[in-house]
Amino acid sequence: MLLPSRLTGLIAAVLLVVAAAGASAGDAGKWVAVPPGNRSPTQPPISTSSIVRTQETQGTFADKYKAVYDALASDNVLIGKIKSAAAVYGIDPIHMIGAIVGEHTYNVDVFDNLQSYYVKALAYLHSSGLAFSYNGEPIDKFVARPQFAACATAESDYALWDCRARIWRDDFQGKTVGGESFPDDSFGHVFFQPFYVGQTFGLGQLNPLAALAVSDVVHQKSGLEPLDMRDAPAVYQAVMDPDMTLAYMAATIRAEIDTYRAIAGFDISGNPGLTATLYNTGEVIERAQTLADTNRKRRAQGLPAILPRENYYGWLINDRLAELKKLLSG
């Protein structure tokens, strides 16, 4: 089967990400290090959904930020777990702090204690009838459709699920296929959030799809059992249980860093606002590829390269970085 050039290019880019994961510190000269801080002098516009969600609970972003900050500051056990998980995946723990603070400032209102997350994880594990599907079609049957054949060559879970998400966007999202209409919504929302659209879970507010995308890495580095798309309760447990979700968070951030190195040529490991931005937006491979394409054209025109930029979520993390680092100083 012949593949569109854009798709074959992205598959090749994904293979570079896999290679980058094994790169050593000696390879650092191949990448342009993005300096700390924000490229935008003022915070970019906050998403409408975040504003509406916060207004509905009669809260403010400042209050939510303070609540999650105070919760982290008072939980030395959790901070220790964050540091340990970050060390396993070779990232600075400030990246994980940034993701947690950003999620609980803009996307949710309640920061549960560790015990509450453990209880919820067990509840999900024992939820009968919980499955990833759309209109009665299980996810494993859906991705067996011929449109997804191009994804069979993927060499990692990250590449596999990125490929499937792109096929969904290109061939199914908002379209009618074989007489069946599909929602104009993301792959993650349609198949991986059966409770209600927009819901993410746990301490790291991970979408189950994000956990599936790094399952092989987490299995290798943390020894957790591989996740199976046919076993939704186990996937939900993984994103709810703090001892498990921290590994998936760290692996996700590691993948962001490796992707931008391999595809866009930028080292974002020294800029927590950028990793927080990607944690918020997703579609990391496509964003890195778009930036690489843009800079390739700019270089051909004799123009300087554009550095990756933070969104409103990442901007907050960089703006409060000195304060956030204090959480890790104990």
Per residue, the 3-state secondary structure of 115-136, as one string, reads HHHHHHHHHHHCCCCCCCEECC
Show the CA angle centred on residue 162, arms to residues 265 and 299, nearest 5°: 25
Strand 137-138 relative to strand 180-181, pairing: unpaired
Distance CA 105, CA 61 (A): 6
- Side chain identity, residue 307: L
Q: How many residues does the chain have?
A: 330
Low-confidence spans in the chain with pLDDT less than 70: 1-29, 109-128, 194-201, 330
CB count, 10 Å around CB of 91? 21
pLDDT at residue number 117:
57
Task: Identify the CA nearest to 20 among candidates 317, 243, 284.
Answer: 284
pLDDT at residue number 212:
97
pLDDT at residue number 55:
86
pLDDT at residue number 24:
43
Report if pTM > 0.85. Answer: yes
> Cα 295 to the chain's mean position, in Å?
24
pLDDT at residue number 3:
41
pLDDT at residue number 206:
86
Annotated domain spans of the chain: 33-127+156-162+193-328
Query: For 200-231, how does the pLDDT look when each residue is reduced to its tens digit (9 = 90+)?
Result: 567 888 889 999 999 999 999 999 999 999 99
